[in-house]
Amino acid sequence: MTSLVREDDFADAFHRPIYAAIRDAVAGGRPHDPVSISAELARAGADRVPQAVHRTHRNVLTLGSSAGAVRHYAATVVAAAYRRSFHELAGTMRHAAEAAAEDEPFPILVELGTRQRAQLRRLTALRNGESPA
For 54-81, what is each residue's pLDDT tens digit? 999 998 888 877 777 888 999 999 999 9
| Residue-level pLDDT at 133 | 55
Report DSSP state, residue 33: S
Report DSSP state, residue 131: P
| Residue-level pLDDT at 132 | 60
Q: What is the mean pLDDT of the chain?
A: 92
For 88-106, what is each residue's pLDDT tens digit? 999 999 999 999 999 999 9
pTM beyond 0.85: no
| Residue-level pLDDT at 55 | 93
d(Cα 52, Cα 58) in Å, to the nearest integer?
Answer: 10
Cβ-based neighbours of 37, under 8 Å, separated by 6 or more: 18, 21, 22, 25, 57
Q: Burial of 53 by CB count in 10 Å (0-12 exposed, 13-18 middle, 19+ buried)?
A: buried
Instruction: Find the length of the chain.
Output: 133
For 9-50, what is each residue's pLDDT tens digit? 999 999 999 999 999 999 999 999 889 999 999 999 988 999
| Residue-level pLDDT at 105 | 97
